[in-house]
Amino acid sequence: MMMTGVLAITAGCGQKKSDFKYLLDEFADLKVMRYTIPGWEELTLQQKEYAYHLAEAAKWGRDIHWDQNCKWNLPIRHVVENILENYKGDRTSQEFDQFTVYAKRLFFANGIHHHYAEDKFFPECSQEYFKSLMEAVGEGDKCAELLDVIYNPNTLQQRRSTSTDGDIVVLSAGNFYEGVTRAEVEKYYESIEDKTDETPIAYGLNTKVTKDSKGNIVEIPWKIDGMYGPAIAKICEELKLAAACAENDIQKRALALLVKYYETGDLKVWDEFNIEWVKDTIGTVDFINGFIEDYNDPLGRKGAWEGYVNIKDHKASERSVILSANAQWFEDHSPVDPRFKKKECKGISAKVINAVCLAGDSYPSTPIGINLPNADWIRKQYGSKSVTIANITHAYDYAAQESPTSTLDEFAWDEAEKAFYREWGSWADEIHTDLHECLGHGSGQLLPGVATTAMGEYASALEEARADLFGLYFTADPKMVELGIMPNKDAYKAEYANYIRNGLMVQFTRVELGRPNTEAHMQNRKLIAEWCYEKGAKDNVIEKKVRDGKTYFVVNDYEKLRDLFAQLLAEIQRIKSEGDYEAGKYLIETYAVNIDPALHKEVKERYEALNLKPYGGFINPDIVPVEKDGKVVDYKVVYNDDYLKQQLDYGKKYGAL
Applying CB under 5 A, which residues contact Zn ion? 464, 467
**Could you tell me if 96 and 104 are in contact, meaning their C-beta atoms sit under 8 angstroms apart?**
no
For 42, other C-beta atoms within 10 Å of its C-beta total: 10
CB of 446 to Zn ion, least distance (A): 18
CB of 342 to Zn ion, least distance (A): 18
**Could you tell me if 453 and 462 are in contact, meaning their C-beta atoms sit under 8 angstroms apart?**
no
The CA angle 649-231-242, to the nearest 5 degrees, is 85
**Could you tell me if 362 and 310 are in contact, meaning their C-beta atoms sit under 8 angstroms apart?**
no
CA-CA-CA-CA dihedral for 166, 171, 177, 183, to nearest 10? 10
CB of 434 to Zn ion, least distance (A): 12
Give the residue with the Cβ less far from Zn ion, 258 or 467.
467
Give the residue with the Cβ less far from Zn ion, 49 or 464.
464
Q: d(Cα 172, Cα 169) in Å, to the nearest integer?
A: 5
Give the residue with the Cβ less far from Zn ion, 407 or 524.
524
Report strand pairing: 622-628 vs 631-638. antiparallel
Residue nearest to Zn ion as judged by C-beta position: 467
Q: d(Cα 346, Cα 645) in Å, to the nearest integer?
A: 49
CB of 370 to Zn ion, least distance (A): 17
CB of 346 to Zn ion, least distance (A): 17
Give the residue with the Cβ less far from Zn ion, 69 or 524.
524
CB of 520 to Zn ion, least distance (A): 9
CB of 436 to Zn ion, least distance (A): 6
Nearest of 159, 217, 222 to residue 185 by alpha carbon: 217
CA-CA-CA-CA dihedral for 416, 420, 421, 427, to nearest 10? 180
CB of 341 to Zn ion, least distance (A): 19
Give the residue with the Cβ less far from Zn ion, 57 or 467.
467
Give the residue with the Cβ less far from Zn ion, 120 or 432.
432
- 555: which strand partners? 542
What CA–CA distances, in Å, run from 22 to 19, 396, 405, 655?
A: 9, 8, 15, 27
Q: d(Cα 561, Cα 529) in Å, to the nearest integer?
A: 10
Give the residue with the Cβ less far from Zn ion, 443 or 509.
443
Give the residue with the Cβ less far from Zn ion, 319 or 436.
436
List, in order, residues 6 or more apart from 356 with CB less than 8 Å away: 37, 40, 51, 55, 285, 309, 310, 311, 623
**Could you tell me if 221 and 271 are in contact, meaning their C-beta atoms sit under 8 angstroms apart?**
no
